[in-house]
Amino acid sequence: MSVFLIDYENVSASGLDGLESLTAGDIVYIFYTENADRLTFSAHRRLIETAAQVRYYKVESGTKNALDFQLVTYLGYLIREAADVPYYIISKDSGFDSVINFWSKQSIAVRRLPNLAVEAVTQEQEELLSKLKDLLEEDDVQTVIAMIQKYKTKQGLNNALMKQFDNKKTSEIYRVIKPYIDNKKAR
Which residues does 130 contact at the CB level (< 8 Å), separation at least 6? none
DSSP codes, 1-49: --EEEEEHHHHGGGGGTTGGG--TT-EEEEEE-TTS----HHHHHHHHH
Residue 86 CA to chain centroid, in angstroms?
Answer: 13
User: What's the rounded mean pLDDT across residues 163-171?
Assistant: 94
The H or E element containing residue 170 is helix 167-177
DSSP string for residues in 140-162: HHHHHHHHHHH-SBHHHHHHHHH
Among 39, 41, 21, residue whose Cα is nearest residue 30: 39
Q: Nearest Cα to 175, choosing from 139, 142, 144?
A: 144
**Is 8:30 a contact under the CB 8 Å cutoff?**
yes
* Confidence (pTM): 0.69
- Whole-angstrom distance, CA of residue 15 vs CA of residue 147: 23
Q: What is the pLDDT of residues 93-137, one digit of tens each?
A: 888 988 998 998 888 989 998 999 887 666 777 788 889 989 998
Q: How is the beta sheet containing 27-32 ordered, strand by strand? A: 53-58, 27-32, 3-7, 87-90, 110-113
For residue 185, the model assigns a pLDDT of 73
Residue 139 confidence (pLDDT) = 84
Residues 11-41: tens digit of each pLDDT: 999 999 999 999 999 999 999 998 888 888 9
Q: How far apart are CA 22 and CA 42, in angstroms?
A: 17
